[in-house]
Chain A
Amino acid sequence: DAGITQSPRYKITETGRQVTLMCHQTWSHSYMFWYRQDLGHGLRLIYYSAAADITDKGEVPDGYVVSRSKTENFPLTLESATRSQTSVYFCASRATAMNTEAFFGQGTRLTVV
């Protein structure tokens, strides 16, 4: 499928478990982003990436790890999930051309119990 897709769409996990959220885009966009939806904060940036093997911390990176071995994939791993990480997570990508818009995946709703 063309575009940007996230998997799974829904995930329930237990406190302390490791969980990985997947993001895949078919446009070969260089830039990719992970956000979490937080009440009163809108979308908060967790990590972002300029290209394969280049990643940077956003505003709320603690407890998360990312990798980018291939341009099209940008997985987000919660190393030891906590209840405070219950949220909806959005992945986005955009081209490097000046002032291009970002495109968002459909989101992953993660519940940590």
Chain B
Amino acid sequence: EIVLTQSPATLSLSPGERATLSCRASQNIITYLAWYQQKPGQAPRLLFYDTFSRAGDIPARFISSGSGTDFTLTISSLEPEDFAVYYCQQRITWPLTFGGGTKVEI
């Protein structure tokens, strides 16, 4: 099973600041990684798939990068609606696995 380790667990920032979230895979997953955003009481929302492909109407302030075992989600300038929990997920092999999440809080 591929383990995805997200860090930090919590990121305390202010609106307008830059957020940098990390996701590290226990094996090479090439670029088969997605990022999701989840707000309290809501379902997750797909942000990026295959690392670089933006899903739906995802604002340009969200940037995803990485390959192999190290991946980064950057939010260049936090808006109030960006405070949420972010999860990474790999699809290269079964079982599909998620990271433990990073909470971006004010």
Answer yes or no: are A and B bound together in one complex.
Answer: no
Task: List the interface of chain B (C-beta within 8 A of A).
Answer: none
Task: List the interface of chain A (C-beta within 8 A of B).
Answer: none
